[in-house]
Amino acid sequence: MNLFGMYIERFTDYLKNERNYSAHTILAYTADVNQFIDCVKEECSIVDIKDITPSVIRVWMVAMKERGVSNRSIGRKIACLRTYFTFLYKEGLIPENPMLKIMAPKVGKRNPSYILNDDMEKILDEKSADGSFFGMRDYLILELVYATGMRQAELLELKECDIDYENQEIRVEGKGRKERIVPVNPTLLERLKIYIEKKKSLKTDTDYLFVNKRFEHMSKKQLYSLVCKELEKINVAKHSPHVLRHSFATNVLEQGGDLSAVKDILGHKSIETTQVYTHTTIEELKKAYKLAHPRSDE
C-alpha cells in the first residue's frame, strides 16, 4: 500500500472538513506536499513517512534552493509542511513531528506593488466607454477589486445574491469559508445592477456573477489574463489581480483610512498583515519632512 498517497487523502479530508480551507488552498497544499514527497524519495530514498527526519527536510530545502526556488516560496512551502506533519503527529501516524526543529529561511521585507489612482482612472475611463456586455464585465472586475480589495478567488465566487443593494454591501466568502461584508459605493452598485440585467437577458445558466465568453463561470486563468492585459497599459512593476488588492489598501491608508477597518475589509486575521500597506504613507511622510522641515538635512 502507498502510505504517502493514503496519508495525502486523509490530509485533504482534514483540510476540507475540519479546517474549512477553500478548494484553491487545498489544491496548493496538496501540490506542495506531493512535491516534497517526490523530492525526498529522489534525494534520500525515503519510502515511509515515518523515516522523515529534520535532516531529510533540510536536504529538501537545499534541493529547493539549488533549483532556484526563492526563500519566500520555500517559507510558504514550510508553512504547508508544518500543517501536514502536525496533522500526521496528532493522528498518531508518525512518532514525532520533524518540523519542530525546522526554521524557515529569512526573507527580506518587500513592499507590495500598487497602482496610482490617476493610472487606474485611465484604465476605468477606457473601459466605461465600451458599452458592450463584456466591456461592462471587464470594467466591473477591475473596479470591484480596486474598490473593495477582495481577493481573486473571492471575486470569482461572487453570486448575484451576494449583492445587497439596500445596504450597499457585498457578502464575500474569504479564506476558511469565513464570510465578511464589504461596503460598495452606490455608483458601482448601479453598474452591477445594469450588468446583471443584461446578463439575465442573455439567458446565462450560471448564478456566478462573472462569466466568460461562452457565458460559463469564469476561471481563475481567464480572470488573471484579463487583469494582466489591462495592467500592462500602465507603469506598474507587477501585473496581477493581487496588485489591485494592494492598491486598494495602499490608497485607503494614504487617504487617512483606519488600519483596523482596512484589516476587516481585506479579511486579514492579523493587523500585522495589513501594516505592510503603510509603507507608502511612511515614504510620503519622509518626503514631506525633507521638503518642509527646517532641520531635515541635519
- Picking from 101, 131, 154, the residue at the C-terminal end of a domain is 101
* Boundaries of domain holding 37: 3-101
- Picking from 51, 67, 101, the residue at the C-terminal end of a domain is 101
Examine residue 227 and state whether it is found in any structural domain, yes or no.
yes
Mean pLDDT of 87-98: 92
Identify the pLDDT of residue 287: 54
In this model, does residue 3 exceed pLDDT 60? no
* Mean per-residue pLDDT of the chain: 82
CATH code for position 12: 1.10.150.130
Grid cell in block for residue 148 = 473593495
φ/ψ (deg, to 5) at 2: -80, 95
Q: Name the pLDDT band for 1 (thresholds 50, 70, 90).
A: very low
Examine residue 263 and state whether it is found in any structural domain, yes or no.
no
- Picking from 46, 75, 101, the residue at the C-terminal end of a domain is 101
Q: Say how far apart CA 98 and CA 78 lie, in whole Å.
A: 12
For the chain, the distance separating the N- and C-terminal CA atoms, rounded to the nearest angstrom, is 72
Q: Locate cell 483596523: which residue?
A: 260
Identify the pLDDT of residue 282: 46
Mean pLDDT of 120-142: 84
Which residues does the annotation mark as catalytic? 151, 175, 242, 245, 268, 277
Of 279 and 42, the one with more pLDDT: 42
| CB distance 277 to 253 below 8 Å | yes
Examine residue 261 and state whether it is found in any structural domain, yes or no.
no
Q: Say how far apart CA 94 and CA 89 lie, in whole Å.
A: 5
Q: Say how far apart CA 271 and CA 262 lie, in whole Å.
A: 9
In this model, does residue 2 exceed pLDDT 60? no
Q: Which of 97-111, 117-131, 265-279 has the lowest mean pLDDT?
A: 265-279
Split into its structural domains, the chain has a count of 2
The one-letter code for the residue type at 282 is I
Strand 163-164 and strand 169-173: the pairing is antiparallel
pLDDT in tens, 157-204: 999 999 999 999 999 888 777 888 888 889 999 999 999 999 989 888
In this model, does residue 45 exceed pLDDT 90? no
Examine residue 210 and state whether it is found in any structural domain, yes or no.
yes
